[in-house]
């Protein structure tokens, strides 16, 4: 907030250089300390870059807090936005926070449950309030439709694409099993329940099985 015009020049509370009334800015409503634009902006930037949400008045022996709205005229737009963001985050200290997993958004949100676990009947599908896209609040990834969080956690880093998730859903519906060694899905057509991994058969000189994604194996 600028000091009203008509008052005598006063020194900046930081650099002590005399300021014209139009160049003097008060940053807090609880004190009368005034600073030049450059000094006030520099003080706020240093605190914000250090991660401080509450910025104290730099006046000597002053414990007052600066008000972002009063300081806004002296601050660059990007600095004002960063400061307000820190203040918003500080309001939710102790709350479990989650972020939109899409790189072009990354909006912070507060989870409405008491922990990070997934209990039976727990709803993990969430919608970002900014970009409006769906994501899983538990897995912190875009929404994995048709696949439970437990199933998703067992997938490798290269197995989480849309086509991979559709395959997992189809495997569950068709009761296909997955080899723990080669990760191929198999379906028992007849015979006993014993299935030998296709790579074991290949390496031991046995019959080479089909290279397709689904291997039908019988005893």
34-61 as b/e, with b when 16 or more CB fall inside 10 Å?
A: bbbbebbbbbbbebbeeeebebebbbee
Domains of the chain listed by start with CATH number:
10-92 (3.30.40.10), 179-218 (no CATH)
Over the stretch 9-33, which tens digit does the pLDDT of each residue have? Answer: 789 989 999 988 888 888 888 888 9
For 63-124, strand residue ranges (E) read 97-99, 108-110
Over the stretch 122-174, which tens digit does the pLDDT of each residue have? Answer: 557 888 888 999 998 888 888 887 777 887 777 766 566 666 667 677 767 77
More confident residue, 95 or 64: 64
Secondary structure of residue 37 in the 3-state scheme: helix
> According to the model, what pLDDT value does residue 36 have?
93
Over the stretch 98-117, which tens digit does the pLDDT of each residue have? Answer: 889 898 998 878 766 555 45
Measured N-to-C along each axis, helices 37-49 and 77-90 cross at an angle, to the nearest 10 degrees, of 40
With cut-offs at 50, 70 and 90, classify the pLDDT of residue 83: very high
Distance of CA 39 to the CA centre of its chain: 33
């Amino acid at each position: 907030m600028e000091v009203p015009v008509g008052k005598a020049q006063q020194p900046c509370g930081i650099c002590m250089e005399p300021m014209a009334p139009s160049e003097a800015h008060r940053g807090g409503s609880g004190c009368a300390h005034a600073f030049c634009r450059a000094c006030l902006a520099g003080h706020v930037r240093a605190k914000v870059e250090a991660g401080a949400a509450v910025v104290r008045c730099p006046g000597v022996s002053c414990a007052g807090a600066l008000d972002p709205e009063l300081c806004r005229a002296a601050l660059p737009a990007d600095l004002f936005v960063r400061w307000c963001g820190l203040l918003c985050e500080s309001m939710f200290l102790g709350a479990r926070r989650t972020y939109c997993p899409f790189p072009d958004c990354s909006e912070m949100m507060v989870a409405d449950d008491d922990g990070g676990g997934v209990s039976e009947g727990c709803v993990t599908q969430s919608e970002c309030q900014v970009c409006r896209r769906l994501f899983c609040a538990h897995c912190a990834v875009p929404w994995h439709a048709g696949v439970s969080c437990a199933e998703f956690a067992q997938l490798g880093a290269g197995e989480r694409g849309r086509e991979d998730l559709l395959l997992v859903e189809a495997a569950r519906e068709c009761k296909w099993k997955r080899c723990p060694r080669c990760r191929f899905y198999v379906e028992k057509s007849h015979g006993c329940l014993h299935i030998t991994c296709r790579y074991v058969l290949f390496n031991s000189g046995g019959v080479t099985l089909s290279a397709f994604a689904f291997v039908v194996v019988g005893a």
